[in-house]
Amino acid sequence: MSATLRIGLVLNPLAGVGGPAGLKGSDGAAIQQRARALGYTSAAKQRFDVALAAFTCAANAQWFCAGGAMGEESLRARGLKPMVVYEPPATSTAADTRRAAIALEQADCDLIVFVGGDGTARDMHSALADRVPVLGVPAGVKMHSAVFAVSPEAAGQLLDSLLTGGLVAAVRADVRDIDEDRLRAGEIGNRFFGEMSVPGFGGYLQQTKVAGRENEELAVEEIVADIEQRFGDASGLLVLAPGSTMLRIKQALGIAEPTLLGVDMLLAGDVLTLDANSQQIEEAARDAGGATLIVSFTRSQGFLFGRGNQQISAAFLASVAPKDLVVVGTRSKLATLMGRPLLVDTGDPRVDQSLDGLVEITAGFEDYLFHRAATGSSISAAGSMSAADSLSAAGAPSVADSLSAAGALSAAGALSAAGAYKKDGEEENE
């Protein structure tokens, strides 16, 4: 365990109340009052409690929530100490769900968990669009949206994986809902409202597996194909970081003689600068009105910034919008981190802190994972990195640790990842 995740919670205390009452849904005050008049109550709190029970590392997260029945009560009942960022009235409505979601976004939550059904999912999308990853704990009547875990237990297990550095997919999932009045009239059909980013189980994919292990060469080819599809016709500035995977990406984007250890830049598809220094990168970004940065991380050490790519300055990173930071890396490479977060050491604590949290990693073609990024100070504050982990993060992992962490690598590959040897000219920021 290392850096702490900031998790938000919005619980709809009336979610699903109309289901057992046979009311075909729970949307609207009238339906909710009718269900309660019949003696029915929502199971949302119980469903979330099941998810929390499966989230064995819940105490190691930093929790933020809406007050009272909308989240605070459930967390405190488990002995957790959340920070309340929104106080709802005694009887909450859909508007309170939206207000709570916005307050959690403003609290810089890495992920927002919500408990409810499709109506709650619609409210979350209305408030957040796709700006913050979410995870739905299913507790409603109609759950046609793909933003829900398959069960409360699965939601807790996914949160565990996020906190412990497991392979967690980053998925774009539909938000859908049914018109309950039409449903009660016997008409079935759902409407698409948008997409949100959600975590999912991200094990090794069949198309990149050989004998049960990731074929890393094939995985790199898929990463390159994904980047080429997304940025092959980019009209703006592309800043391409050092590394062997990055070298393949540079070639695919049309650079005839790219640098392995340097930062190369493209502007509207044409080469602007090869082997750029920090001043050239900052000036190009100012002139272009922004930039997309594509970067990888060091194998075993896990440095995203501050090792082998110091040309990418804190001043430049401060100008890069989160949506314009593209991180690439295979599952095998992530496995060498042994669950540790990616590390950020730009020399500017404010910039480092802005990069602390969940990072989306391109791990194949249209294949994305979530992984944590952390500053040295946040790891120290968490107090949960062992001395052995610290040595490994500093660049001194043991051969045995690297062999174990590599998982999908050959023994020779694991030794190389551990720093036992490098090929001539090979850069660790692959």
Q: Are residue 196 and residue 243 in the same domain, yes or no? A: no
Structural domain range at position 334: 206-417
Q: Are residue 115 and residue 241 in the same domain, yes or no? A: no
Q: Which residue do the tokens 């405190």 mark? A: 76
Q: Are residue 215 and residue 166 in the same domain, yes or no? A: no
Q: What is the three-class DSSP state of 288?
A: helix
Residue type, 261: L
Alpha helices, H only, 61-185 = 72-77, 94-106, 118-128, 152-164, 180-184
51 belongs to a structural domain: yes
pLDDT band at 379 (very low <50, low <70, confident <90, very high): low
Please report the pLDDT score of residue 142 as a whole number.
67
256 belongs to a structural domain: yes
Proportion of the chain above pLDDT 70, given as a percent = 75
Range with the poorest average pLDDT among 136-140, 223-227, 401-405 = 401-405
Q: Which residue do the tokens 């409202």 mark? A: 193
Parallel, antiparallel, or unpaired: how do β-strands 367-375 and 342-344 relate?
A: parallel
Domain's final residue, options 201, 224, 250: 201
Residue of 201 and 388 predicted with greater confidence: 201
d(CA 379, CA 241): 25
38 belongs to a structural domain: yes
Q: Are residue 46 and residue 150 in the same domain, yes or no? A: yes
Range with the poorest average pLDDT among 97-101, 159-163, 199-203, 209-213 = 209-213
Instruction: Count how many domains the chain has.
Output: 2
Q: Are residue 95 and residue 30 in the same domain, yes or no? A: yes
CATH of the domain at 28: 3.40.50
427 belongs to a structural domain: no
d(CA 31, CA 12): 15
Q: Tens of pLDDT along 340-368?
A: 999 999 999 999 999 999 999 999 999 99
Q: Are residue 304 and residue 403 in the same domain, yes or no? A: yes
Q: Are residue 88 and residue 227 in the same domain, yes or no? A: no
Domain's final residue, options 201, 219, 239: 201
